C-alpha cells in the first residue's frame, strides 16, 4: 500500500489516497494512525493556520475546509465502512481532532462534535431506513447534522429539560427551545431531545431526528462567543413541529441513555481539541522565546522561561496520555465514564493553564489580536465548559472511584 506522505502531491490526490487509508484502518494500527496524523497536521498547517485568525475575527464558518475534510472521510471517522464511514477507532478520531484543532480550534470543534454527536450516534442507534435517509448522505458531503440537548434552563441537569413531545395520530408534536446547538445556523438536521412526560424525568427523554427546514423550526442568530467563534452555535425554537414516529432514534424513553453514552465520546473529542490548542500555544511560545531579546538575552535563556515551558510540556504530555487511554478504553468496552472525565478534566484545565503561560511568555505581544496566542487563550476556555463543566467531571470521577471501592469491599 502506498503511504500517505508519498501520495501527497495535490489536495485532489490526497482526497482519494487518504480515503483509502481511512478505509483500511482498524483498531490498534499505529502506522495508519500516524499517517492520518500526518495528513491532518499538514492540512492544519496549509489549509487552516493561514485563515484561522480571519475566521475567528469574522465569525465565519469554515465551509471550504469542512467540505474537504468530508471528502477525506474525516467527518465519519468512527462510522463502520458498511455505513459509509471510515471504520476507524476512537484513538484515530482523537489524533485527527487534536491536529486539526492546533491549526484552527473552531474547525477542530466542528469535526469533533459532528463525529461524536451525530455520525457516530446514528451509526449506533439508527435503523437501516434512518441511516439511508439521515446518515449515508451526511458522511462525505460536508452537509452537517446537529446535536440539540441543552436548553436555557437545562445544562448540567439534563433531566430538567423542558422541550416536550406530545404524541398524536401522525407522530409527535415538539415544542420548546434548544440552546448552544453547534452548527445550528448551517446544519441540515438535528437530533432533538424532548420529554414525552415531564413527571418521568430522565426516563421520559426521547431522541428525535428533525430536519431544520421543517415547519415550526426557527433558528436563532449565532451566539456571540468568547472563543471558537468560527464554530457557530445558536438557539433552535420548536413551535408545534410534527415529527413522524419513524424519526424516533432508538426507543421511546431511551434518549437520556443515548445522550450520556455519546457525551462520553464527546468528552474525548473535547479533550483532544484542548490538546491541539495547548500544542499550538506551546509551539508559539517556544518560537517566540527564540526571537525575543530582553536584557541582551533571548527569552529562552532565562531560567524562569525555561521552567514555564517545562511545566507547559509536562501538563500537555500527561493530558495526552490520559486522552489516549480514555480513547482505548472506550473502544474496548463502549463506556469509560471515569477515564473520559479524567481526560477531559486534565486536557481542558491544562489548556487553560498552558495558554495562560504562553500569553505570559509573549507578554504584551500575547495580548494583541494579530498574534495567535490570544486566540488560543480564548479558545481554550470553552473546553472546561461544554460537554460537562469541570466540576461535573470531578463529581463523575469521584463517584466512579467510590463505586469501585464498594465493589472491591463486597
The Cα 73–Cα 86 span in angstroms is 6
What pLDDT sits at residue 317? 97
* 195 and 204 Cβ atoms separated by less than 8 Å: yes
Binned at pLDDT 50, 70 and 90, residue 356 comes out as very high
Q: Is 127 found in the same domain as 175?
A: no
Q: Is 113 found in the same domain as 60?
A: yes
Q: Is 386 found in the same domain as 267?
A: yes
Say whether pLDDT at 5 is over 50.
no
* 51 and 111 Cβ atoms separated by less than 8 Å: no
User: Could you give the C-alpha distances from 72 to 17, 19, 67, 293, 300, in angstroms and in order?
Assistant: 9, 5, 9, 43, 39
Q: Of 5-19, 37-51, 78-92, 173-187, which range is least confident?
A: 5-19
The Cα 215–Cα 307 span in angstroms is 58
The pLDDT tens digits of the residues spanning 381-400 come to: 999 999 999 999 999 999 99
Domain limit, last residue, from 117, 138, 159? 138
Range of the domain at 55: 4-138
Indicate which CATH number applies to the domain containing 20.
Answer: 1.10.540.10
Q: Is 294 found in the same domain as 211?
A: no
Q: What is the enclosing helix (H) or strand (E) of 239?
A: strand 233-243
Q: Is 125 found in the same domain as 11?
A: yes
What pLDDT sits at residue 13? 52
Q: Is 209 found in the same domain as 296?
A: no
- Side-chain half-sphere CA neighbours of 8 within 13 A: 13
What percent of the chain stands above pLDDT 90? 86
The pLDDT tens digits of the residues spanning 321-347 come to: 999 999 999 999 888 999 999 999 999
Q: Is 155 found in the same domain as 291?
A: no
Say whether pLDDT at 233 is over 80.
yes
The Cα 278–Cα 384 span in angstroms is 13
What pLDDT sits at residue 333? 86
What pLDDT sits at residue 232? 97
Mean pLDDT of 356-374: 95
Q: Is 154 found in the same domain as 114?
A: no
Q: Is 222 found in the same domain as 200?
A: yes
Mean pLDDT of 44-53: 97
Binned at pLDDT 50, 70 and 90, residue 58 comes out as very high
What pLDDT sits at residue 34? 87
What pLDDT sits at residue 20? 53
- For 334-357, letters b (16+ CB in 10 Å) and e give eebbbbbbbbbbbbbbbbbbbbbb
The pLDDT tens digits of the residues spanning 15-44 come to: 455 445 444 443 445 788 888 999 999 999
Number of domains comprising the chain: 3
Residue that has been written with the C-alpha cell 480571519 in this structure: 54
Q: Which of 197, 208, 211 is nearest to 161 (CA)?
A: 197
The Cα 395–Cα 410 span in angstroms is 23
The Cα 162–Cα 178 span in angstroms is 9
Binned at pLDDT 50, 70 and 90, residue 134 comes out as very high
Q: Which of 313, 308, 291 is nearest to 361 (CA)?
A: 308
Rg of the chain, C-alpha, whole Å = 21
Q: Is 346 found in the same domain as 282?
A: yes
Q: Which of 17, 22, 23 is nearest to 5 (CA)?
A: 17
Residues 6 or more apart whose Cβ sits within 8 Å of residue 210 = 174, 189, 190, 191, 192, 217, 238, 241, 243, 247
Q: In this structure, which long-range contacts are made by residues 194-198, counting pairs with CB atoms below 8 Å and at least 24 apart in sequence?
A: 194/161, 194/163, 194/164, 194/165, 194/238, 194/255, 195/161, 195/162, 195/163, 195/164, 195/165, 196/164, 196/165, 196/166, 196/167, 196/172, 196/252, 196/253, 198/162, 198/164
Indicate which CATH number applies to the domain containing 339.
Answer: 1.20.140.10
- Count of residues making up the chain: 410
Indicate which CATH number applies to the domain containing 193.
Answer: 2.40.110.10
The Cα 168–Cα 196 span in angstroms is 11
Within its chain, how far is the Cα of 232 from the centroid? 13
Q: Is 73 found in the same domain as 21?
A: yes
Binned at pLDDT 50, 70 and 90, residue 271 comes out as very high
What percent of the chain stands above pLDDT 70? 93
Residues 6 or more apart whose Cβ sits within 8 Å of residue 158 = 149, 193, 202, 205, 256, 259, 260
Top-confidence residue, 7 or 300 = 300
The Cα 391–Cα 131 span in angstroms is 36
Say whether pLDDT at 409 is over 80.
yes
Say whether pLDDT at 3 is over 50.
no
Domain limit, last residue, from 255, 283, 302? 255
Domain limit, last residue, from 90, 106, 138? 138
Binned at pLDDT 50, 70 and 90, residue 303 comes out as very high
Q: Is 282 found in the same domain as 395?
A: yes
Q: What is the enclosing helix (H) or strand (E) of 263?
A: helix 255-291
Residue that has been written with the C-alpha cell 450520556 in this structure: 260
What pLDDT sits at residue 155? 81
The pLDDT tens digits of the residues spanning 173-213 come to: 999 999 999 999 999 999 999 999 999 999 999 999 999 99
Amino acid at each position: 500500500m502506498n503511504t500517505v506522505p508519498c501520495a501527497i502531491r495535490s489536495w485532489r490526490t490526497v482526497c482519494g489516497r487518504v480515503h483509502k487509508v481511512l478505509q483500511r484502518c482498524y483498531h490498534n494500527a499505529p502506522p495508519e494512525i500516524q499517517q492520518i496524523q500526518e495528513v491532518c497536521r499538514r492540512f492544519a498547517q496549509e489549509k487552516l493556520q493561514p485563515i484561522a485568525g480571519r475566521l475567528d475575527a469574522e465569525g465565519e464558518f469554515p465551509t471550504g475546509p469542512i467540505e474537504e475534510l468530508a471528502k477525506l472521510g474525516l467527518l465519519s471517522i468512527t462510522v463502520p465502512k458498511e455505513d459509509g464511514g471510515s471504520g476507524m477507532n476512537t484513538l484515530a478520531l482523537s489524533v485527527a481532532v487534536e491536529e486539526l484543532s492546533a491549526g484552527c480550534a473552531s474547525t477542530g470543534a466542528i469535526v469533533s462534535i459532528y463525529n461524536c454527536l451525530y455520525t457516530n450516534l446514528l451509526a449506533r442507534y439508527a435503523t437501516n431506513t434512518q441511516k439511508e435517509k439521515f446518515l449515508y448522505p451526511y458522511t462525505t458531503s460536508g452537509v452537517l447534522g446537529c446535536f440539540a440537548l441543552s436548553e436555557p434552563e437545562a445544562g448540567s441537569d439534563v433531566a430538567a429539560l423542558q422541550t416536550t413531545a406530545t404524541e398524536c395520530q401522525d407522530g409527535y408534536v415538539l415544542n420548546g427551545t434548544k440552546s448552544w446547538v453547534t452548527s445550528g445556523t448551517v446544519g441540515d438536521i438535528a437530533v432533538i431531545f424532548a420529554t414525552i412526560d415531564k413527571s418521568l424525568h430522565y426516563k421520559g427523554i426521547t431522541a428525535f431526528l428533525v430536519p431544520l427546514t421543517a415547519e415550526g423550526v426557527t433558528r436563532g442568530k449565532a451566539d456571540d462567543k468568547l472563543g471558537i467563534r468560527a464554530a457557530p452555535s445558536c438557539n433552535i425554537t420548536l413551535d408545534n413541529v410534527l415529527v413522524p414516529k419513524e424519526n424516533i432514534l432508538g426507543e421511546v424513553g431511551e434518549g437520556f441513555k443515548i445522550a450520556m453514552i455519546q457525551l462520553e465520546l464527546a468528552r474525548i473529542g473535547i479533550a483532544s481539541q484542548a490538546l491541539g490548542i495547548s500544542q499550538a500555544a506551546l509551539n508559539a511560545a517556544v518560537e517566540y522565546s527564540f526571537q525575543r531579546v530582553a536584557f541582551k538575552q533571548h527569552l529562552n535563556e532565562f531560567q524562569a522561561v525555561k521552567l514555564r515551558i517545562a511545566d507547559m510540556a509536562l501538563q500537555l504530555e500527561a493530558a495526552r496520555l490520559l486522552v489516549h487511554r480514555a480513547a482505548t478504553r472506550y473502544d474496548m468496552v463502549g463506556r469509560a465514564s471515569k477515564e473520559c472525565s479524567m481526560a477531559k478534566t486534565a486536557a481542558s484545565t491544562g489548556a487553560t493553564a498552558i495558554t495562560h503561560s504562553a500569553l505570559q511568555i509573549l507578554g504584551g505581544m500575547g495580548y494583541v489580536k494579530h498574534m495567535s496566542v490570544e486566540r488560543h487563550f480564548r479558545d481554550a476556555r470553552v473546553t472546561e465548559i461544554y460537554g460537562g463543566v469541570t466540576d461535573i467531571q470531578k463529581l463523575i470521577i469521584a463517584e466512579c472511584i467510590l463505586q469501585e471501592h464498594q465493589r472491591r469491599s463486597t
